[in-house]
Amino acid sequence: MGETTGAARGGWAEGVSAITLFVEELAECKRFYEEAFGLPAAYEDDASAVYKFGELMVNLLSVSEAPGLIGPAPVGGADAGRRFQLTVPVADVDALYAELTGRGVKFLNGPLDRPWGIRTAAFADPAGHIWEIAK
């Protein structure tokens, strides 16, 4: 295929700058992200809200706008099942678990010691996207 940017490191992709999550209830998801993560929106309009996690931007986009990004591929429904998980490294899983539980976050599991040597706990945002905290 020939040389492409970044080929010396094994590929052309130098990193991921943004993830777009399709959401049915934008206002509810915005409240959740602002309360659970303690983040203000870096950008927002009537159809989206962007939150910065370090260098990574997470864009919450109203599902009605999704076809404009991915068409002609169909947009999956909220009931299609979970196909990914976003992991956030933290200093103390148990302390953050207690703090987030106090803020009303309902965890799916954890804190758990995983066989591969990390401690985790997972929760879902109102649109069903899975987030994991890990140490």
* Residue 1 banded pLDDT, cuts 50, 70, 90: very low
- Kindly tell me if the per-residue pLDDT of 80 is higher than 50: yes
- C-alpha distance across the termini of the chain, in Å: 39
How does pLDDT run across 101-112, given as a tens digit for each residue?
999 999 999 999
* Cα maximum dimension of the chain: 54
Token pair belonging to 109? 């599991």
How does pLDDT run across 21-71, given as a tens digit for each residue?
999 999 999 999 999 999 999 999 999 999 999 999 999 999 999 999 999
- Residue 28: count other Cβ atoms within 10 Å of its Cβ: 13
Return the closest-CA partner of residue 94 out of 85, 107, 78, 84.
107
Each domain of the chain, given as residue ranges in start order, spans 16-65, 84-135
- Which of 7-16, 38-47, 123-132 shows the lowest per-residue confidence on average (mean pLDDT)? 7-16
Token pair belonging to 65? 């706008």
Architecture of domain 16-65: Roll (3.10)
* 129 within 8 A of 21, measured Cβ to Cβ: yes
* CATH for 84-135, options being 3.10.180.10, 3.40.50.300, 2.40.128.20, 3.40.190.10: 3.10.180.10
Measured CA to CA, the distance from residue 118 to residue 131 in angstroms comes to: 15
Q: What is the pLDDT of residue 83?
A: 80
